[in-house]
């Protein structure tokens, strides 16, 4: 098992301790739990993973991977445990962070059992309609976490670019895909996989059927107070991949999509994962969105060493871009 320097961080103590911790950060992987700070716009803790030998005094890129517990629970400690594992052990994002020596941020967002149709970890419509302070606009809360993490990293002499890398698999891929539509100007590059073959579309309608969030952009201004910026979205380098054997289909479940949303997808985009994935590719290309689309043979709803290498290589190339 890797040696990881672990501590819980409150912003009050950090200003005086950061310089003293720099040497530890250079010697081993470090995992920081940053306390929630409603005054700064985020109601949940987040994790900042800094791999050993992260360069100091050199511009880097912050990688963000949304948490994905894979189950509902009202116990935030359960979601925290899974998020810690994601940040430090078991994720494509951790592999990217470790190999490229760039910091990784993972939010600790809940996925409540008491409101099981609200799929927070996929940033579904129910989440975007939330009015309670704790759950309102998790996308904006994540942006506040990112700003906060940048300040912490600067105090460690780790400077990061203004734009972020984003990565996700399964529900966190769906979160990343939807987040990128709302905030394309914040993202330097993204990689997603295992997302049920269903991508958010840049269209307001299909076959005469209106496509509201999270399927399309018809009610974008109503929800977000701005129009979808297709021009900005097209500039994001993207790696979008699926396993050829992946038939994991969240579309058919009520927590991921409403009955109306499910009918629209099944009737107009595809009832099965792989044909749906091809249909989404076609729509993206028709709109001038040109990700790297990749299909991995003999791979289902999981990742492999080849998948990890593909994602690492993709982000490495993006780091070379000015």
Percentage of residues of the chain with pLDDT beyond 70: 92
**How is residue 33 written in tokens?**
């739990």
| pLDDT number for residue 282 | 98
Q: Please, is 70 exposed, middle or buried when counting C-beta atoms within 10 Å of its C-beta (0-12, 13-18, 19+)?
A: exposed
| pLDDT number for residue 85 | 95
What would the DSSP string read from start to end of 12-51? HHHHHHHHHHHHHHHHSEEEEEEPPBGGGTB-S-EEEEE-
The residue to which tokens 């990688």 are assigned: 63
**Tens-place pLDDT, residues 119-128:** 999 999 999 9
**Tens-place pLDDT, residues 43-92:** 999 999 999 999 998 889 999 999 999 999 999 999 999 999 999 987 89
Tell whether omega for the bond before 152 is within 30 degrees of 0, i.e. cis: no
| pLDDT number for residue 57 | 84
Average pLDDT over residues 203-212: 98
Average pLDDT over residues 292-314: 97
Which superfamily does CATH assign the domain made up of 4-319 to?
Alpha/Beta hydrolase fold, catalytic domain (3.40.50.1820)
| pLDDT number for residue 23 | 56
What would the DSSP string read from start to end of 77-143? HHHHHHHHHHHHTSSHHHHHHHHHT--EEEE---B-GGGTT--GGGT-HHHHT--STTTTTHHHHHH
| pLDDT number for residue 14 | 44
Average pLDDT over residues 264-292: 97
Residue ranges per domain, the chain?
A: 4-319
């Amino acid at each position: 098992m890797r040696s990881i320097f672990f501590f819980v961080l409150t912003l009050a103590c950090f200003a005086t301790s950061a310089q003293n911790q720099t040497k530890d950060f250079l010697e081993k992987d470090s995992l920081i739990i940053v306390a929630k700070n409603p005054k700064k716009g985020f109601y949940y803790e987040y994790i900042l993973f800094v791999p050993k030998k992260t360069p100091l005094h050199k511009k880097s890129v912050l990688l963000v991977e949304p948490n994905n517990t894979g189950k509902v629970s009202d116990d935030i400690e359960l979601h925290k445990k899974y998020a810690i594992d994601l940040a430090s052990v078991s994720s494509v994002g951790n592999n990217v962070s470790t190999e490229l020596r760039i910091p990784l941020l993972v939010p600790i967002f809940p996925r409540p059992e008491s409101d099981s149709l609200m799929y927070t970890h996929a940033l579904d419509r129910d989440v975007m309609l939330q009015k309670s302070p704790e759950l309102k606009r998790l996308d904006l809360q994540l942006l506040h976490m990112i700003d906060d993490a940048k300040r912490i990293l600067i105090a460690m002499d780790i400077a990061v670019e203004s734009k972020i890398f984003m990565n996700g698999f399964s529900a966190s891929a769906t979160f990343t895909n939807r987040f990128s539509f709302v905030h394309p100007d914040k993202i330097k590059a993204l990689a997603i996989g295992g997302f049920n073959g269903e991508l958010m579309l840049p269209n307001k309608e299909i076959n005469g059927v209106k496509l509201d969030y999270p399927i399309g952009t018809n009610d974008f201004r109503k929800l977000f107070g701005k129009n979808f910026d297709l021009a900005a979205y097209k500039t994001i380098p993207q790696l979008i991949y699926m396993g050829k054997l992946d038939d994991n289909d969240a579309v058919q479940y009520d927590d991921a999509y409403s009955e109306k949303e499910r009918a629209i997808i099944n009737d107009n985009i595809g009832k099965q994962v792989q044909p749906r994935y091809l249909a989404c590719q076609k729509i993206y290309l028709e709109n001038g969105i040109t990700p790297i689309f990749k299909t991995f043979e003999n791979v289902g709803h999981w990742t492999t060493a080849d998948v990890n290498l593909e994602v690492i290589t993709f982000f490495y190339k993006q780091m070379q871009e000015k």
